[in-house]
Chains A and B, each alone.
Chain A
């Protein structure tokens, strides 16, 4: 009962966020709303019992992407025009709107054949899930089944993902660090000129 109330309220709040993100023209406000959108979806994932997805959504969606989008705003706008507005769209909204509505209707139509939420007889629950549920504790000793699958049964897959993220982090550090060095050189030159 309360689960349903929380689900429906969170989903409507997320929908309000989405409409506001589309309608708003102030880019800074849009970034702020994106952060709220991610937080609410992460909360929704927690309520729906998908703690690992919620972790990812909160860390990537609410944490890192907010910072990255703000950094992009900071790099593309000078501080004087920080509250600069997005340009008004030059095309009519009817074609994209109809495409979105048709796609959404098809997706909703597709959900009619899906098994119910958390249905134990769904095909995806009958394939390898019973094996994991029975054997993961004696085989790996990890109490959480999702963690056991991610860290032990799919250990190499997770290692590959971590490698990708590590490489991306190094690349970001190189790019940002390089920029800082160039900037300080410019500042030094400016100071020399003034001196």
Chain B
């Protein structure tokens, strides 16, 4: 019963995050919403594993966590420096590219 309520609550949370992702005026709203949806999917799988007594699903939830993290890091790197192939110090680089245009 407890797990059922938890699953329904997680689904409602995913719905709310989706609303924010659709409405989100800024890029950061959408990033936070997508990170939230990923995290809630992981929680959904974890709760579902306990609900149906298949504890091997917890490993899958862990892998999802890693993938979600990689995705968010890539998105934030792109937002911050405008490309994915330099190592950080590219706010100057961006400025150069803008100046070149």
Q: What chain A residues lie within 8 Å of B22 (beta carbons)?
A: 16, 20, 24
Identify which of residues 45-64 in chain B touch chain A, using a CB-to-CB cut-off of 8 Å: 45, 48, 51, 56-57, 60, 63-64
Bound-state CA distance A5–B90 (Å) is 47
Could you tell me if B63 and A78 are in contact, using CB atoms closer than 8 angstroms? no
Q: What chain A residues lie within 8 Å of B24 (beta carbons)?
A: 29
Given known pairs A2-B51, A36-B37, A66-B71, the reply for A9 and B11 (CB within 8 Å) is yes
Q: What chain A residues lie within 8 Å of B37 (beta carbons)?
A: 36, 39-40
Nearest B residue (CB) for A71: B84
Q: What chain B residues lie within 8 Å of A80 (beta carbons)?
A: 98, 101
A58 to nearest B CB, angstroms? 5
Interface string of B1-38 (1 = CB under 8 A from A): 00010011001001100100110100100110110011
Residue in contact with B41 in the complex, picked from A40, A83, A187, CB distance below 8 Å = A40
By the criterion of a CB under 8 Å from any partner CB, how many residues of chain B are at the interface?
46
Could you tell me if A35 and B34 are in contact, using CB atoms closer than 8 angstroms? yes
A30 to nearest B CB, angstroms? 10
The answer to the question of A166 belonging to the interface, with a C-beta cut-off of 8 Å to chain B, is: no
Bound-state CA distance A116–B46 (Å) is 27
Could you tell me if B71 and A67 are in contact, using CB atoms closer than 8 angstroms? yes
Q: Describe A's contact surface by its main secondary structure.
A: helix
Given known pairs A63-B71, A80-B98, the reply for A39 and B27 (CB within 8 Å) is no
Given known pairs A35-B71, A67-B71, the reply for A28 and B30 (CB within 8 Å) is yes
Could you tell me if A54 and B18 are in contact, using CB atoms closer than 8 angstroms? no
Nearest B residue (CB) for A177: B85
Of A13, A29, A43, most buried by chain B (CB within 10 Å of CB) is A43
Q: What chain B residues lie within 8 Å of A183 (beta carbons)?
A: 85
Could you tell me if B96 and A62 are in contact, using CB atoms closer than 8 angstroms? no
Bound-state CA distance A2–B38 (Å) is 21
Could you tell me if B71 and A33 are in contact, using CB atoms closer than 8 angstroms? no
Could you tell me if A79 and B68 are in contact, using CB atoms closer than 8 angstroms? no
Given known pairs A9-B11, A29-B30, the reply for A54 and B70 (CB within 8 Å) is no
The answer to the question of A42 belonging to the interface, with a C-beta cut-off of 8 Å to chain B, is: yes
Residue in contact with B101 in the complex, picked from A32, A59, A75, A78, CB distance below 8 Å = A78
Nearest A residue (CB) for B43: A43
Nearest B residue (CB) for A143: B56
Given known pairs A42-B64, A70-B78, A190-B96, the reply for A62 and B30 (CB within 8 Å) is no
The answer to the question of A150 belonging to the interface, with a C-beta cut-off of 8 Å to chain B, is: no
Identify which of residues 47-92 in chain A touch chain B, using a CB-to-CB cut-off of 8 Å: 47, 51, 54-55, 58-59, 62-63, 66-67, 70-71, 73-75, 78-80, 82-83
* 8 contacting pairs across A/B (C-beta < 8 A): A13-B15, A29-B30, A58-B64, A66-B71, A74-B78, A75-B83, A80-B98, A82-B82
